[in-house]
Amino acid sequence: MTQAKSVAERSGLPVGRLILRGLVSVLLLFVIVWAALALWIDGPASRALAGALVGALVLIAGFIVVRIRPFWRAAGSVLGVFAVVLAWWLSLTPSNDRAWQPDVAQLPSATLDGSILTIRNVRSFRYRGVDDFSEEWVTRTYDLDTLVGFDMFISYWGPTLYGHTIASWEFADGQHLAISIETRKETGESYSALTGFFRQFEVYYVVADEADVVALRTNHRGERVELYRTIESPGAVVLLLDYIDEINALAEKPEWYNALTQNCTTTIWKHGKAIGSERVPLDWRLMANGYLVDLGYEVGAVNTDISLDMLKQRSDITARARRAGDAADFSGAIRVDLPARPPAR
């Protein structure tokens, strides 16, 4: 505070006002950096034109800061420039009509007749390698009256601060329906942590067999996967139907993926509101989802009859998945010795 007072004395401004100006300056820097990234990433395909737009943005913002006085008029002008870029960015519309990569080429959709759920375009690929697979899209029926419960996979490819979550529903007849919320990439596109925050990818619900979407990660991508049994029916039915509503909506009107607000875990939490979000409250671990199980353990959404460390150890299904390979009962094999579901509340 002594240093702030010294700067305030030299500038002739009260300390509080000086601090406020500092905070606003940081905000202005952030919005201009964001706007520059938006123009570069989501702007013209021509890198020369995109670069020219970014350069023009920076020059205009710099001119405003240097030449316009007083400070608050300059700040308002910079925010006005940002607002123009933001309005353009918000006008970008997603599409279901692009040259998609084979693993996201078909959009799933579903119908419900009584308790019988029919889903079209369930992905049932079999892999020989990450990019070497046999394509098969199938139609499957599921009897909601036989739904046992809801499971959650967490897949880690490196540091465990963050992973990929996959939802799955278990039925009494041995069927398992997995849904993985991912980016819908076009031919030649690849995902990056930075571009995921912008409007580069449509959101895509991979509706698949576990022998597809889980085995791909354990057996071919070399990832470590944990599987946790969670809620029983009827909550699991309500949750699944909320997913189905969104899947059908996306088939009609696509949405953008966003690594912060519309990702594999925050979207699951959004669906969880269909059964009451009080059980899993809004929490920082929804973003750092490597700690998602810790949150689930605290609120009793997973098995708490054993220690958290033991739960995580017994829920690691990586070795079982690799041993199962392409077995017809892949889903049963990875659940051997898996901790039981938590009791219903």
> What is the residue type of 211?
A
Rg from Cα positions in the chain: 24
User: How many angstroms separate the Cα of 90 from the Cα of each of 196, 232, 255?
Assistant: 15, 40, 12
Average pLDDT of the residues in 24-47: 97
7 — pLDDT class (breaks 50, 70, 90) = very low
279 pLDDT more than 70:
no
Mean pLDDT of the chain: 91
- Contact (Cβ atoms closer than 8 angstroms) between residue 316 and residue 224: yes
118 and 266 in a common domain = yes
Question: Angle 71-90/15-42 helices, nearest 10 degrees?
Answer: 30
Does residue 340 lie in a domain region? no
Looking at 65, 90, 115, the residue that finishes a domain is: 90
66 and 6 in a common domain = yes
- Contact (Cβ atoms closer than 8 angstroms) between residue 165 and residue 199: no
Alpha helices in the chain (DSSP H): 2-11, 15-42, 47-67, 71-90, 210-213, 215, 235-252, 266-272, 292-299, 308-314, 318-324, 330-333
54 pLDDT more than 50:
yes
170 and 39 in a common domain = no
Instruction: Write out the two tokens for 135.
Output: 């394509």
Count: domains in the chain = 2
What is the number of other CB atoms lying within 10 angstroms of the CB of residue 69? 8
Bridge partner residues of 184 (DSSP): 202
Looking at 90, 112, 136, the residue that finishes a domain is: 90
Nearest to 211, CA basis, from 145, 290, 122, 275: 122
Question: What is the per-residue pLDDT for 117?
Answer: 98
Looking at 62, 90, 118, the residue that finishes a domain is: 90
Does residue 344 lie in a domain region? no
211 and 124 in a common domain = yes
Higher pLDDT, 159 or 92: 92
Polymer length of the chain: 345
268 pLDDT more than 90:
no
292 — pLDDT class (breaks 50, 70, 90) = confident
- SS3 label, residue 21: helix
124 and 63 in a common domain = no
Does residue 318 lie in a domain region? yes
The Cα 260–Cα 262 span in angstroms is 6
75 and 113 in a common domain = no
Average pLDDT of the residues in 221-227: 97
- SS3 label, residue 341: coil
pLDDT, one tens digit per residue, over 76-110 is 999 999 999 999 999 999 999 999 999 999 999 99
The Cα 234–Cα 145 span in angstroms is 9
278 pLDDT more than 60:
no
Average pLDDT of the residues in 310-314: 97
Nearest to 286, CA basis, from 301, 309, 270, 304: 270
Question: What is the per-residue pLDDT for 8?
Answer: 46
Does residue 306 lie in a domain region? yes
158 and 128 in a common domain = yes
DSSP 254: -
Higher pLDDT, 123 or 345: 123
256 and 135 in a common domain = yes
The Cα 159–Cα 119 span in angstroms is 35
344 pLDDT more than 90:
no
Bridge partner residues of 55 (DSSP): none
78 and 134 in a common domain = no
73 and 139 in a common domain = no
Bridge partner residues of 258 (DSSP): 262
Question: What is the per-residue pLDDT for 174?
Answer: 94
The Cα 225–Cα 166 span in angstroms is 10
Domain residues for 288?
102-333
Nearest to 126, CA basis, from 283, 327, 317: 327
121 and 214 in a common domain = yes
Does residue 135 lie in a domain region? yes
267 and 126 in a common domain = yes
Does residue 169 lie in a domain region? yes
Does residue 57 lie in a domain region? yes
The predicted model scores a pTM of 0.89
Does residue 345 lie in a domain region? no
